[in-house]
Amino acid sequence: MRHPVRTLLLGLLVVAGCGKVDKFVDAGDDDAPVDSMTLDAPEMGTVNIVAVDRPILTATAAPGVLVFVTGRDGTPGARATTDTDGHATVAVSAGDFVTTMYPRNSFDQFIVTTFANVAPGDTLTVGNRPQNDFTPIGTGMAVSWTAVAGADYYYVYAPCANGTYTQSTTFTLNTYSWCTQTTFDVVVVAHNATTGTFTMSSHAAAVAWLDGGPIPMPAFTAVVSMTTSVSGLPASVSDTNLTGFPYYGAVNAQTFYGGGPPAAGTITATGNVPAGANGLRTQYTLYRNAFGPQLGFEFATITGTSHTITNPSLLPWIGDAIANAATRQLTWIADSSGADPADLLTIELYWHHDTPAFAYAFFGWSPLQPILGRLPSGNEDLEHAQGTKDRNP
């Protein structure tokens, strides 16, 4: 069952992590009263901001990025704009929020990011995701195979070719800076025109790159049935999505799907995959009525064709997220019963601003809030950083 995206496009994601976080206070309700006269003044100093653009893997400086500080009580603080090198420095007190907003991009978007609980001396780096550089290295490497009776096309899998389609029995693999490997696996899967399924596969392990090639593939063998399961899910889980990603070395080939409402706390996905997989990544999304979904995954080394994740660790369930434009606060509810503690809470908030001339501007706000122990058991306000809304394009 597919779950529609809410019109508000507001999502909260709780991420599990390891390690101890010492400088954040537990948001529980068991804090003892303290004498305010004994509290030390917050540490003061500066933080450095490095703003970059990454049109390809190499980052370039991003000048003109607005930087502003908001105190823990919501008081506006210092403001700056990144220079030609993409750098800016602002004065902060320990625990402040630092927000950056990029100038409008070619998609009429303003990308806004907030760092929570900063400390003097921090260096905060912001930037868009890099795009891959598709400039080939060398002349490519040809691989070839014997035609499979009844096959009308083939999928080729390699580090830089994730399921590339061809009707030929030869294919030239290219390698790029972001995916090149000294040795790697190559998998070719044949599609049967009569059955409409993938029935045969060829797997070459630890192939050494040979500029130009050709590299002959081994004989084709029948695909095998692979199953991955997640068991021990609580009764509160109402629906799921489950995906299996078999791996051959570092190459994923023939992803398969399953899920649906759990049966006695168990979900399963089964699919036909090439023989010889030595790894399996299982990814599952769990849904609970009135709460947001949880995403989990596990990578396991395998020798057979089945794998089960038993009693997966769950995070606190969060839901009913509401953005109040008047107070600039974000509220949500949380149910942490039976869940593991969370070390980091990330929030993604999107909104748009329509001008009288129907111009459209898109804002994306991503504050990062580390937390210790557990999510609040009731409503909790997260103050919206000063200046990140109602800003004319």
What is the DSSP code string of 115-178? E-S--TT-EEEEEPPPPP----STT-EEEE-PPPTTEEEEEEEETTEEEEEESSSEEEE---TT
d(CA 280, CA 247): 6
User: What number is the average pLDDT over the span 306-316?
Assistant: 91
User: What number is the average pLDDT over the span 376-384?
Assistant: 32
pLDDT in the model for residue 137: 85
pLDDT in the model for residue 225: 95
Q: What is the pLDDT of residues 105-158, one digit of tens each?
A: 776 777 788 888 889 999 998 886 666 677 888 889 999 999 999 999 999 999
What is the DSSP code string of 73-121? TS-EEEEEE--TTSEEEEEEETT-EEEEEPPP-TTSEEEEEEE-S--TT
pLDDT in the model for residue 377: 31
d(CA 259, CA 271): 12
N-to-C CA span, the chain: 38
SS3 36: helix
Q: How far is CA 238 from CA 1, 262, 288, 293, 391, in A?
A: 10, 7, 5, 10, 40
d(CA 280, CA 274): 12
Token readout for 109 is: 């978007």
Q: What is the pLDDT of residues 162-198, one digit of tens each?
A: 888 899 999 999 988 878 888 999 999 999 988 888 9
SS3 270: strand
CATH class for domain 224-310? mainly beta
pLDDT in the model for residue 58: 62
Among the listed residues 30, 219, 46, 185, the one whose alpha carbon sits nearest the alpha carbon of residue 123: 46
Residue 280 — very low, low, confident or very high, per pLDDT cuts 50/70/90?
very high
Q: Do 331 and 379 contact (CB within 8 A), yes or no?
A: yes
Strand 279-288, strand 239-248: pairing? antiparallel
User: Does residue 286 register a pLDDT over 60?
Assistant: yes
Strand 76-81, strand 87-93: pairing? unpaired
Residue 375 — very low, low, confident or very high, per pLDDT cuts 50/70/90?
very low
- Whether pTM > 0.75 for this model: the answer is no
> Residue 229 carries which DSSP code?
E
Could you state, in order of their start, the residue ranges of all structural domains in the chain? 141-222, 224-310
